[in-house]
Amino acid sequence: MKIHIKNMVSLRCKMAVKDALDNIGLHYKYIDLGEVDLIENSIPPQQKNHLKLALLKSGLELLDETKSVLVERIKIIVIEMIQHAEEWPKHKISVYLSKQLNHNYTYLANQFKEVTGTTIQHYILLQKIS
């Protein structure tokens, strides 16, 4: 079972998620930026609440809504592209995001704007500035 976590953008975040999962007794196959693949097929409500609280203490948030998950994945790809990539993708950013997420760019852009109130291009610009 995959779960998605908002604001998980660094190694320190991955370590905080690992600690939270270990403390709650959840087992995982892998932890990646914004995503955890759990061995369990579901999380009992009480454990889920404990996980949400533990993540919030670290400034992270467990995502439940599909739109929010997609927007968070867009943000992670943009952050990795700007901060961690050796070079820019050879394609346009719109093509790159579409290929990475298997969605039409117009759909991605509309979802991003609806959830965040800003455009992907503006978000990219803000990431470049920071």
Q: In a structure prediction context, what are the per-residue pLDDT tens digits for the chain, which is 130 residues long? A: 888 888 887 888 899 999 999 999 999 999 988 889 999 998 898 999 999 999 999 999 888 778 888 999 999 999 888 877 666 667 788 999 999 999 999 999 999 999 899 999 999 999 888 7
Question: Encoding tokens for residue 51?
Answer: 């996980």
Shared-domain flag, residues 70 and 123: yes
> 55 by DSSP, 3-state: which?
helix
Shared-domain flag, residues 45 and 76: no
Burial of 100 (0-12, 13-18, 19+ CB in 10 A): middle
Return the CATH number at 12. Answer: 3.30.70
Shared-domain flag, residues 31 and 76: no
**Predicted TM-score of the model (pTM):** 0.62
Question: Encoding tokens for residue 104?
Answer: 């039409």
Residue count (the chain): 130
Dist. CA 86–CA 119, nearest whole Å: 25
Measured in degrees and rounded to the nearest 5, phi and psi for residue 4 equal -120, 140
Amino acid sitting at position 54: A
Measured in degrees and rounded to the nearest 5, phi and psi for residue 63 equal -95, 135
Range of the domain at 79: 66-129
Shared-domain flag, residues 72 and 48: no
